[in-house]
């Protein structure tokens, strides 16, 4: 189940340019989930193509994990105005699409505090939870979940950069080196 190109299920439809659908291998065992599209994503209709996307791409390349082998998405598919956090009603409206993307995966990787909070259903401190595998509920089933830092957080933090790098390496080694 995907949103229609003209989805109007929530108020984020009012200011978006393009809906940003997941990109990559639809059969990937692992899905990376950010919070919401930013300006470049809104203009291109593709997830993680701005500065954060370039950082993530660099780490994927370093790990030898082609971007096309994973699935990349966001909790909501339309850009919130001014890059504010998505509101509860907006996330609820988009949730069926997200659940469809997450179900039957072997691992969900949450990128950044906001996405992790939404996926785990509670406030988190990234320092405490980063790279510690847990499980989340997806449509009534438990799915393995790894919270880690958003690529944008790695610009000014060595700790965040190393954690995200290690998370990507873990994904490659555990799910793709078979």
| Chain contacts with ligand SF4 (rule: CB under 6 A) | 3, 7, 9-10, 12-13, 19, 76-78, 90, 93-94
The residue (of 7 and 120) whose beta carbon lies closer to ligand SF4 is 7
76 vs 73: CA distance, rounded Å = 8
Shortest Å, Cβ 157 to ligand SF4: 29
Torsion, Cα 132 138 143 145, to 10 degrees, reads -20
The residue (of 68 and 83) whose beta carbon lies closer to ligand SF4 is 83
Yes or no: say if 47 and 37 are a contact pair by the CB < 8 Å rule: yes
The residue (of 93 and 167) whose beta carbon lies closer to ligand SF4 is 93
Shortest Å, Cβ 152 to ligand SF4: 20
The residue (of 77 and 113) whose beta carbon lies closer to ligand SF4 is 77
Nearest Cα neighbor of 169 from 65, 24, 28, 72 is 65
Shortest Å, Cβ 65 to ligand SF4: 28
Cα 17 to Cα 14, 37, 39, 82, distances in angstroms: 9, 11, 9, 13
Shortest Å, Cβ 97 to ligand SF4: 6
Cα 161 to Cα 53, 80, 158, 165, 173, distances in angstroms: 14, 26, 5, 6, 18
């Amino acid at each position: 189940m995907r949103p229609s190109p003209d989805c109007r299920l929530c108020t984020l439809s009012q200011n978006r340019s393009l809906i940003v659908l997941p990109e990559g291998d639809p059969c990937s065992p692992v899905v990376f989930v950010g919070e919401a599209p930013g300006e470049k994503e809104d203009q291109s209709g593709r997830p993680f193509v701005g500065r954060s996307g370039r950082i993530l791409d660099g780490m994927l390349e370093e790990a030898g994990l082609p971007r096309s082998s994973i699935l990349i998405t966001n909790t909501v598919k339309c850009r919130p105005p001014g890059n504010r956090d998505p509101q509860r009603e907006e996330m609820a409206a988009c949730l069926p699409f997200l659940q469809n993307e997450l179900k039957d995966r072997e691992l969900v990787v949450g990128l950044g505090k906001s996405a992790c909070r939404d996926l785990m259903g509670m406030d988190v401190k990234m320092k405490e939870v980063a790279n510690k595998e847990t499980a989340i509920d997806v449509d009534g089933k438990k799915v393995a979940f790894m919270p880690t830092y958003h690529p944008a957080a790695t610009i000014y933090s060595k700790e965040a950069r190393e954690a995200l790098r290690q998370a990507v390496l873990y994904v490659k080694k555990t799910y793709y080196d078979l």
